[in-house]
Amino acid sequence: MKSGIVCLVGRPNVGKSTLLNNILGQKVAITSPKPQTTRVNLEAVYEDDRGQIVFVDTPGIFGKVVDSLSKRINPRAEQALSRHVDVVIYMVDHTREKDFEENKAIGIVRKIKAPKILVINKSDVRTPTYIVQYKFLEEEFDRTIEISALHRKNLNTLLEAIFELLPEGKPMVDTKDMVQPGLNIESKTFLAEIIREKAFLFLRREVPYRVTAIVDEVVERGSGALYIKARILTTEDRYKAMIIGAGGVMIKEISMASRKELETATSKKVFLDLTVETNEHWMDFV
């Protein structure tokens, strides 16, 4: 039996969280087209008859650091790699040119002594492509695999390669009583992340980076339905106005989409009480 820790690394929006969700067959990491969606190192367990993989999904490594939140997010991938790691998956998006941000991520990965897999995502997309800019990296990696994380193409091939590189060992995590594969995220945090994801998906380009979500209360009522009281925090009143929208339309859309996914995640009827607050210091404590 094989067992070990596998760290997913890459610049923002290459598809790491989508890959993890589709390998696990259920959602543990939120996704959106916008950078900075993943803000913490998320750990989750995959296992089958070949053994057990503890995946660590890291925030994308981005080049420009402009605020206190970004300054804390960027080192989190390096922190994950500084611990014992058995395999590193370095993920790239061949439809985007290699740039300073990519070079920064590659530089971090080069310092790691563990076996490495170069994963080239979006194999289903033919143009644009800058794959020649990444092919030269192949000689630095133990394996190179082209996948489509979104369409689940070649994920079994990737899993086979991971298990080949993992050491022999007993399972690291007892999964017998686990209700979901996520290891290091509390239920309130997971619910808040779903709300933040929907805010990212609905809001304009500049707003999401000034937004977070907090779940204050989760109560199961006699009917079995869940009452969830949550807040979206943002840094300025002008962003608050955008989140609420004219006549409250935007917050209603965010709330409706969040409620539907929360019901899917919890398998319960959900009543979501969602408000918006301005807190210029929230980035200092997330």
Radius of gyration over alpha carbons of the chain, in Å? 20
Q: How far is CA 168 from the centre of its chain?
A: 28
Task: State the binding site for GTP.
Answer: 10-17, 57-61, 121-124
DSSP state of 165: H
pLDDT of the residue at 197: 87
pTM of the model: 0.73
pLDDT of the residue at 265: 79
Q: Is the Cβ–Cβ distance between 101 and 59 less than 8 Å?
A: no
The stretch 127-155 carries a mean pLDDT of: 94
Task: State the binding site.
Answer: 10-17, 57-61, 121-124
What does the pLDDT look like over 59-117, one tens digit per residue?
655 444 444 444 444 455 555 555 688 999 999 999 999 988 888 889 888 988 899 99
Q: Domains, the chain, ranges and CATH? A: 2-165 (3.40.50.300), 187-284 (3.30.300.20)
Cis status, amide bond into 167, omega within 30 of 0: no
Q: How far is CA 244 from the centre of its chain?
A: 26
Q: Which tokens go with 3?
A: 């067992």
What does the pLDDT look like over 219-277, one tens digit per residue?
988 888 989 999 999 989 999 999 999 999 999 999 999 999 888 878 889 999 999 99
215 strand-pairing partners: 230
Rounded distance between C-alpha atoms, residue 142 and residue 122, angstroms: 20
pLDDT of the residue at 69: 46
Q: Is the Cβ–Cβ distance between 59 and 38 less than 8 Å?
A: yes
C-alpha separations of 18 from 76, 182, 261 in Å: 19, 14, 16
The stretch 8-33 carries a mean pLDDT of: 82
pLDDT over threshold 70, residue 32:
no
Rounded distance between C-alpha atoms, residue 19 and residue 120, angstroms: 12
